Amino acid sequence: MITLGKRALLGAGLATLAAPAWAQGNYPTRPITMVIPFAAGGPTDTVGRLIAQAMGANLGQTVVIENVGGAGGTLGAQRVAQARPDGYTILLHHIGMATIPTLYRRLAYDPINGFETIGLVTEVPMTLIARRDFPASNLAELVQVVRRDREKLNYANAGVGAASHLCGLLLQKAVDAPMTTVPYRGTAPAMNDLLAGTVDLMCDQTTNTTEQIRAGTVKVFAVTTPEPIAALPNVPTAAQGGLPGFEVSVWHGLYAPKGTPRPIIDRLNQALLAALQDPNVARRMADLGTAPVAAARATPEVHRQFWQADIAKWRPLIQAAGQYAD
């Protein structure tokens, strides 16, 4: 414990030295890059662009989105963990921050100690969807088709560590049938293939699926929350559809590289809070089945505690599933 504490202090001290004094006083003096570790146009990108715009207005500088997709969100996280801790490179990431430390045995960055937390952003429900002509009309029928035809079916996801991967693991456990998975750099390109009918199934966040569901371009079977959601009132929960326990909500948080000075973290947190309280952000999020977290949860401390607790929650489940990325 003592050694860790000393290391942390030393790390913070070095970082403060590394960042020039002006960087803290006048911060920010130039645009900030927000890395999204998945493809453009997908669910995390949608949340990121919404808050980036509102944060930029508060900071008086543009927050530029950089999509660094691939490897289940680890490439984007690595990019930020290895960036200068000066407040000009930040990361919007999701629940993968809690599963990746266990799922990946080898990473080129430290998935736990490589980051400062800025605050939680939102929690997004997931929906189980299929290509429009999938031969099932409700969850019970889908389970039968998956059990019968699993050799032939393809499940799209955004790589090991993605929310769509995690949801797929829960689904395969619930129906007791492994499926062939097809990994993409994000669920935006996966959605394109689902719309084209070249993959069969996907479980994805409502920030990417709500509009397709409303337009009838995909078939929806369930939402992964305990209660139905207002944005999609006619979609049953998985429990209502016969799969109790098939529940997952995808939390998102904002991070900076380890050693980013506390005054900069506080300034970014202030901008995040302003974004979360922006009525336009809240309205758009509600339309997509989600909501900004309450201000009390959007602090660096609550975010860190929540993240650490989620790492501990997922570790035994992943170990029991025995599916790792090597």
Residues forming contacts to ligand ASP in the complex (CB under 6 A) are 38-39, 42-45, 94, 158, 162-164, 186-188
Q: How far is the CB of 82 from ligand ASP (least distance, A)?
A: 21
Rg of the chain (C-alpha set): 20
Sign of CA dihedral 9, 12, 16, 17: positive
Q: How far is the CB of 70 from ligand ASP (least distance, A)?
A: 11
Contact 119, 269 (CB under 8 A): yes
Q: What is the DSSP letter of 293?
A: P
The residue among 169 and 265 lying less far from ligand ASP, judged by its C-beta, is 169
Q: How far is the CB of 229 from ligand ASP (least distance, A)?
A: 18
Q: Give the contacts of 107 (CB within 8 A, at least 6 positions apart).
A: 74, 78, 100
Q: How far is the CB of 158 from ligand ASP (least distance, A)?
A: 4
- Pairwise CA distance, residues 77 & 277, whole Å: 26
The residue among 23 and 77 lying less far from ligand ASP, judged by its C-beta, is 77
The residue among 66 and 141 lying less far from ligand ASP, judged by its C-beta, is 66
Q: How far is the CB of 211 from ligand ASP (least distance, A)?
A: 15
Task: Specify burial of residue 158 (Cβ count, 10 A radius: 0-12, 13-18, 19+).
Answer: buried
The residue among 27 and 314 lying less far from ligand ASP, judged by its C-beta, is 314
The residue among 15 and 126 lying less far from ligand ASP, judged by its C-beta, is 126
- Pairwise CA distance, residues 284 & 73, whole Å: 24
The residue among 33 and 187 lying less far from ligand ASP, judged by its C-beta, is 187
- Pairwise CA distance, residues 89 & 244, whole Å: 41
Q: How far is the CB of 270 from ligand ASP (least distance, A)?
A: 26
Q: What is the DSSP letter of 138?
A: S
